[in-house]
Amino acid sequence: MKFLFDDAAFSFQALRTAGHAAYAGADLGEVLAACRNIPDGDEEAWCRAWTAVAERLHRVGAEALAAGHRVSARESLLRASNYYRTADFFRVEDRDSDLESARLARCSRQTFAQAAQLFDTPVVPLRIPYEDSTLPGYLFLVDDTGRSRPTVIHHGGYDSTLEELYFMAAGGALRRGYHVLAFEGPGQQSVRREQGLVFRPDWEHVVTPVVDHALTRPEVDPERLVLWGTSFGGLLAARATAFEDRFAACVLHNGVYDFYEVPLRGIPPYLGEWVTDGRDDVAGPALAVTLAQSTQARWFLRHGMWVFGAKTPPEALRACAPYSLDTAAALITCPTLVLDAENDLPFHGEARRVYEALRCAKELMLFTVAEGAGEHCQEGAALRFHQRVFDWLDERLARA
């Protein structure tokens, strides 16, 4: 779906940002005004335009809060958080040394934290014990009664932030009586920035400590615990569920079977062979040409270098190789919902591949272009997407 830009990466990211309007994370007029000032493919202009609108709303939120306008402050700060995230998205040249990227990410976290204090329902910031460190999270509660309820444990994927998870799942979950424990793991945004931890394929070692922590909370019903992974997180969640048996259901949003094959399908076969064989003397220059020609490829590989701790684009591609469900899919035992999107071309066929490999109770749920939900992870169609997923969860957990 073309949305405001011819550049596919810009179009999708603008749709992603606008789609969070369903839970007060954007306003369509602001999105249109910001994008009007951005030439196609101009990453510097992208950052400037989104930073400007984020900073304006940050000021509006602070002024509203000082004047005692709680709802206005919350709504302004939520949008500011989303727009700061958007402003930072394409700043992947050297994230570890990019002070402006660090500032934008910090502002996104801070504005969301300020907004969360103004919610009508309780929001509990978490530091979840993990190995010799902790993982950041939020526990979004339906109310303050302490009542035990079904609880979704939610993590993102390759590039989502902890704060964005509210718009992706928690907003819809709270309306339906689900608590949500959202967290970031190794390789993901603030954990990568602040602790230097990169992705790991044995994701069960990340999820199990989160489950342990969740079950210390009286609000969490241990018999109605759901794992939900978004985007690349769909693969990670499937891997975790294969080795963690305390879940009543799992949502793969969307299904991804092999994270190495996905980027390889986007480059010539001979180049894929060079990468796989470690022939970086020829693969490196060839990938440099690809980087120069495609915003999406440049972002994917540069971001991959950061989240996997790779030094070169070929290394970043090879780092994707261990992320496969070859040995894990058949081990999942809980009912599993695999989401698919009709227009999710980079991941075409991945969800069905996951579905066919599963041996548990399962369902493949396709979202179409005709219903406006055919893009990757149903971006731009949050209400339709949540309606179908939570109706499925309601039915499955009622049987638990």
Give me the domains of the chain, ranges plus CATH numbers: 1-120 (1.20.1440.110), 122-259+323-400 (3.40.50.1820), 261-318 (no CATH)
Helix (H) or strand (E) holding 129: strand 123-130
Average pLDDT over residues 265-285: 93
Percent of the chain clearing pLDDT 90 (strictly above): 95
Using alpha carbons only, give the angle 131, 132, 133 rounded to the nearest 5 degrees.
Answer: 95
Residue with tokens 């690809």, as numbered in its chain: 290
- Give the span between the Cα atoms of 74 and 215, in whole angstroms: 30
- Give the span between the Cα atoms of 258 and 202, in whole angstroms: 14
Helix (H) or strand (E) holding 392: helix 382-399
- Give the span between the Cα atoms of 179 and 173, in whole angstroms: 7
Residue with tokens 């920035």, as numbered in its chain: 193
Contacts of 370 (CB under 8 A, 6+ apart): none
Name beta bridge partners: 228. Answer: 154, 251
pLDDT for the residue 1: 79
pLDDT for the residue 399: 64
| Cis peptide bond N-terminal to 254, omega within 30 | yes
pLDDT for the residue 291: 80
Reported confidence tier of residue 290, pLDDT bands at 50, 70, 90: confident
- Give the span between the Cα atoms of 257 and 328, in whole angstroms: 10
Average pLDDT over residues 12-19: 98
* Farthest CA pair distance, the chain: 62
Percent of the chain clearing pLDDT 70 (strictly above): 100
Average pLDDT over residues 70-98: 97
Catalytic residue among 11, 108, 231, 294: 231
Reported confidence tier of residue 400, pLDDT bands at 50, 70, 90: low
Cα distances (angstroms) measured from residue 384 to each of 83, 165, 167, 352: 23, 17, 14, 21
pLDDT tens digits for range 229-247: 999 999 999 999 999 999 9
295 closest CA partner among 86, 71, 23, 6: 6
Q: What is the mean pLDDT of the chain?
A: 96
pLDDT tens digits for range 355-396: 999 999 999 999 999 999 999 999 999 999 999 999 999 999
Reported confidence tier of residue 41, pLDDT bands at 50, 70, 90: very high
Asked whether residue 201 carries a pLDDT value surpassing 80, the answer given is yes
Average pLDDT over residues 27-54: 97
- Give the span between the Cα atoms of 270 and 276, in whole angstroms: 10
324 is catalytic: no
Of the CA atoms within 13 Å of residue 389, those in its CB half-sphere come to 33
pLDDT for the residue 345: 87
- Answering whether pTM is above 0.85, one says yes
Asked whether residue 51 carries a pLDDT value surpassing 80, the answer given is yes
Torsion over CA: 81, 31, 188, 338 (sign): positive
- Give the span between the Cα atoms of 56 and 80, in whole angstroms: 8
Contacts of 40 (CB under 8 A, 6+ apart): 5, 6, 7, 10
